[in-house]
């Protein structure tokens, strides 16, 4: 049912459209400046009761109508290309045109769009039955050869100013608005659907909204949403990584071109620390003592040891054989090559090799109790073999390009070394 009102009456006199004469059978009048009291109707916009005069109470702003958008005439406009993007069309489909389209009547009584060309075309595209229009007094101002060129000049200036002097919503305001919607019970998905904002962007804004330190950084510094979304990555229920947040904030402010590089380096370090912590936890559960790789003290890597002096020279002491030694320990390191892929390396140590009877991997073998007449020759052969192996070992060392070391510090998670 379409309702209409005589502009000279109050809203309380609203009746069926077929019971009241209207100037144009396609246009249903809504309450205007004279109708500022009484109850509202389903067709009236939220602010229909606002006084539609400017300055002098005798100077009307115009007539507020609700019309079929297909009856509107698209007049001359400085905007030539109109972009009807999908989010905008979905918004018009769900909520309709919320801001009245500005029109003027031509000599034939047709309503010519003066401001709101994009809203008009979107309403037609989405099949909206009606749209609110404000009929301004005066001529459309489309004829450049008209006697009064002032109307043409006013139209061009009005259409330019309508868009040029609009300020976009600041990203910090957008984050605060989404935080309010979260507080009101909406999920990120619901916010995206209701506001017709891409899901990826809403995930960013809500992630920032949930992070106090990221939201604070956005308020205090001139950071973009993409940058503070990265800062929010380094916040957690256990507290933010203050050093990472500081590094990212300083980089964003002073060297924004390096921000992506610094962010990825910090992500890699965080991932490496997690891998080290997980591996260290596994070793600890197996009863292996985990050492700080930068502070191994008098410990020696078991790869350079033999179990004892009776084991043939060159025999490497492996982790399985050494596992029962009271001095058995390990360090955990993460290496990244040129491909930047992490490789976890566990190195096994003995904390007191001399105390537990271990000797250098390459060296003299102790003689047995039964004696050996050829022992001297055997020792000579072993020494020659050790020298040769040492040469080969030195020439084939494969030094890593870069490595990261981490040590699980008691009571404070993982400490980067």
Residue 77: what pLDDT?
84
Per-residue pLDDT, averaged over 6-26, amounts to 34
Helix axes 212-220, 171-183, angle to 10 degrees: 150
Q: Indicate if the pLDDT at residue 184 is higher than 60.
A: yes
Contact 322, 363 (CB under 8 A): no
In terms of Cβ atoms closer than 10 Å to its own Cβ (0-12, 13-18, 19+), residue 388 is exposed
Calculated CA dihedral for residues 382, 387, 391, 392, nearest 10 degrees: 0
Q: Indicate if the pLDDT at residue 29 is higher than 60.
A: no
In terms of Cβ atoms closer than 10 Å to its own Cβ (0-12, 13-18, 19+), residue 83 is exposed
Among the listed residues 171, 170, 195, 169, the one whose alpha carbon sits nearest the alpha carbon of residue 182: 195
Residue 138: what pLDDT?
79
Residue 239: what pLDDT?
87
Per-residue pLDDT, averaged over 204-226, amounts to 92
Q: Indicate if the pLDDT at residue 384 is higher than 90.
A: no
Q: Indicate if the pLDDT at residue 109 is higher than 60.
A: yes
Separation of alpha carbons 221 and 163, rounded Å:
28
Q: Indicate if the pLDDT at residue 119 is higher than 50.
A: yes
CA dihedral sign of residues 33, 37, 40, 41 = negative
Residue 134: what pLDDT?
94
Looking at the DSSP assignment, which residues form a beta bridge with residue 306? 359
Per-residue pLDDT, averaged over 15-36, amounts to 38
pLDDT band at 367 (very low <50, low <70, confident <90, very high): low
Separation of alpha carbons 245 and 220, rounded Å:
14
Contact 141, 151 (CB under 8 A): yes
Per-residue pLDDT, averaged over 159-186, amounts to 86
In terms of Cβ atoms closer than 10 Å to its own Cβ (0-12, 13-18, 19+), residue 36 is middle
The first and second tokens of residue 218, run together, are 């956005």
Residue 389: what pLDDT?
58
Separation of alpha carbons 5 and 398, rounded Å:
89
Contact 20, 6 (CB under 8 A): yes
Among the listed residues 368, 350, 348, 372, the one whose alpha carbon sits nearest the alpha carbon of residue 359: 350
Residue 82 per-residue DSSP state: -
Q: Which of 41-50, 117-126, 196-205, 242-251 has the least mean pLDDT? A: 41-50
Per-residue pLDDT, averaged over 324-341, amounts to 93
Helix axes 171-183, 188-195, angle to 10 degrees: 120
pLDDT band at 166 (very low <50, low <70, confident <90, very high): confident
Per-residue pLDDT, averaged over 220-249, amounts to 92
The first and second tokens of residue 269, run together, are 């370090």
Residues in the chain: 417
Q: How many helices (H) and strands (E) does the chain have?
A: 12, 16
Looking at the DSSP assignment, which residues form a beta bridge with residue 290? 330
Per-residue pLDDT, averaged over 190-208, amounts to 92
Q: Which of 94-103, 130-139, 361-370 has the least mean pLDDT? A: 361-370
Residue 42: what pLDDT?
36
Looking at the DSSP assignment, which residues form a beta bridge with residue 53? 60
Per-residue pLDDT, averaged over 231-251, amounts to 92
Total Cβ atoms within 10 A of residue 18: 10
The first and second tokens of residue 310, run together, are 């009776």
% of the chain at pLDDT higher than 70: 71
Beta strands, E only, 6-83: 15-16, 27-29, 63-67, 73-74
Q: Which of 104-118, 151-165, 222-236, 286-300 has the least mean pLDDT? A: 151-165
For the chain, the first-to-last Cα distance in angstroms comes to: 74
Per-residue pLDDT, averaged over 76-100, amounts to 89
pLDDT band at 157 (very low <50, low <70, confident <90, very high): confident
Residue 268: what pLDDT?
95
Residue 160: what pLDDT?
85
Residue 393: what pLDDT?
47
Q: Indicate if the pLDDT at residue 263 is higher than 80.
A: yes
Q: Indicate if the pLDDT at residue 227 is higher than 90.
A: yes
The first and second tokens of residue 19, run together, are 């019971």
- The secondary structure element, H or E, covering residue 242 is helix 242-254
Residue 48: what pLDDT?
41
Residue 170: what pLDDT?
86
Mean residue pLDDT of the chain comes to: 78
């Amino acid at each position: 049912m379409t309702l209409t009102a005589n502009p000279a009456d109050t809203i309380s006199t609203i009746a069926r459209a077929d019971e009241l004469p209207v100037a144009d059978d396609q246009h249903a009048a809504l309450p205007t400046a004279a109708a500022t009291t009484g109850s509202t109707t389903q067709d009236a916009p939220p602010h229909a009761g606002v006084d539609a005069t400017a300055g002098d109470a005798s100077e009307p702003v115009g007539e507020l109508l609700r019309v079929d958008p297909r009856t509107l005439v698209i007049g001359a406009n400085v905007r030539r290309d109109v972009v009807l993007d999908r989010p905008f069309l979905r918004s018009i489909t769900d909520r309709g045109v919320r801001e009245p389209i500005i029109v003027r009547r031509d000599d034939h009584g047709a309503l010519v769009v003066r401001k709101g060309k994009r809203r008009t075309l979107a309403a037609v595209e989405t099949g909206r039955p009606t749209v609110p229009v404000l009929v301004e007094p005066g001529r459309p101002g489309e004829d450049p050869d008209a006697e009064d060129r002032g109307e043409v000049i006013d139209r061009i200036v009005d259409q330019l100013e309508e868009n040029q002097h609009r300020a976009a919503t600041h990203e910090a305001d957008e984050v605060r608005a989404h935080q309010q919607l979260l507080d009101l019970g909406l999920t990120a998905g619901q916010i995206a659907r209701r506001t017709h904002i891409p899901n990826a962007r809403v995930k960013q804004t809500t992630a920032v909204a949930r992070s106090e330190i990221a939201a604070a950084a956005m308020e205090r510094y001139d950071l973009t949403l993409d940058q503070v979304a990265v800062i929010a990555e380094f916040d957690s229920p256990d507290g933010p990584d203050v050093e990472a947040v500081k590094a990212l904030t300083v980089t964003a402010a002073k060297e924004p071109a390096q921000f992506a590089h610094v962010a990825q380096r910090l992500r890699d370090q965080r991932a490496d620390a997690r891998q080290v912590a997980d591996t260290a936890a596994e070793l600890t559960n197996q009863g292996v003592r985990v050492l700080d790789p930068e502070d191994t003290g008098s410990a020696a890597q078991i790869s350079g040891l033999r179990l004892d002096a009776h084991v043939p020279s060159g025999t490497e002491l492996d982790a399985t054989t050494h596992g029962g030694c009271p001095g058995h320990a390990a360090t955990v390191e993460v290496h990244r090559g040129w491909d930047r892929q992490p490789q976890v390396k566990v190195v096994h140590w003995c904390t007191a090799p001399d105390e537990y009877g271990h000797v250098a991997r390459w060296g003299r073998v102790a003689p047995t109790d039964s004696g050996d007449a050829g022992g001297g020759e055997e020792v000579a052969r072993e020494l020659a073999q050790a020298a040769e192996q040492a040469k080969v070992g030195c020439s084939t060392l494969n030094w890593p390009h870069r490595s990261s070391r981490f040590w699980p510090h008691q009571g404070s998670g993982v400490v980067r070394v």
